[in-house]
């Protein structure tokens, strides 16, 4: 796998440091927003994390270890891309792996995604979550591409802004591969070209 990598954009050390720093900001913001943590787990006032599957799983796993808060995880899956390097085609739709509750009333919700590129997925998910009436709704992404569409979507927490390049690693894939690579990297051009031809 390493011999297919062109360039390391973000190292594992940079990722770890930045994820910890973003977690600190989230905790501080929730504290100043008077988030209450009830003694009995009725859900009201609690933090609900909503990772967008599948790309965000590694980011979420690392992030929650830095959040000393009472929380629940409710996953949402979105089907949007045909599996190749494109990020602009297709209309995103909520997938069947979603386990959102019908109501998020009283909950402080943080939706988490791996990368913001076209903005279509995040807009769809935020609309779905708002329709469930959470107490508050925040968003976090690991990466935001330097694209007008991405800049147009308000995001509360961005770990890294990156050039408009196709990247893999740390949860991001190309045709289902490379999610396990610990860094954010680009692939050698011939890897993608061979797959397209």
Write the DSSP assignment of 29-67 as a string of letters: HHHHTT----SS-SSTT-EEEEEEETTTHHHHHHHHTT-
pLDDT score at 197: 42
Report strand pairing: 184-187 vs 93-94: unpaired
Options 3.10.290.20, 3.40.50.2020, 3.40.190.10, 3.30.450.20; CATH for 12-166 is: 3.40.50.2020
Listed by start position, the domains of the chain span 12-166
Rounded Cα gap, residues 178 and 83, in angstroms:
13
Q: In the annotation, is 117 catalytic?
A: yes
- Which of 62, 113, 117, 164 is an active site residue? 117
Tens of pLDDT, residue by residue over 144-171, are 999 999 999 999 999 999 999 999 999 9
For residue 185, give the 3-state DSSP assignment.
strand
Tens of pLDDT, residue by residue over 53-110, are 999 999 999 999 999 888 999 999 998 655 455 545 568 888 767 788 899 998 999 9
């Amino acid at each position: 796998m390493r011999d297919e990598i062109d360039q390391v954009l973000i190292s594992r050390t940079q990722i770890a440091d930045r994820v910890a720093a973003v977690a600190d900001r989230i905790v501080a913001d929730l504290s100043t927003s008077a988030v209450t943590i009830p003694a009995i787990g009725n859900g009201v006032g609690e933090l609900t994390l909503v990772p967008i599957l599948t790309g965000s799983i590694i980011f979420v796993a690392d992030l929650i270890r830095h959040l000393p808060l009472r929380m629940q995880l409710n996953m949402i899956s979105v089907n949007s891309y045909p599996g190749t390097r494109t990020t602009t085609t297709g209309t995103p739709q909520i997938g069947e792996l979603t386990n959102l509750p019908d109501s998020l009333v009283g909950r402080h919700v943080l939706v988490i995604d791996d990368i913001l590129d076209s903005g279509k997925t995040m807009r769809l998910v935020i609309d779905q979550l708002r329709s469930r009436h959470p107490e508050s709704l925040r968003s976090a992404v690991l990466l935001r591409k330097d694209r007008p569409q991405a800049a147009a979507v308000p995001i509360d927490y961005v770990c890294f802004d990156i050039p408009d390049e196709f990247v893999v690693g740390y949860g991001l894939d190309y045709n289902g591969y490379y999610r396990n690579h610990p860094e954010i990297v680009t692939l050698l051009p011939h890897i993608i070209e061979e797959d397209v031809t």
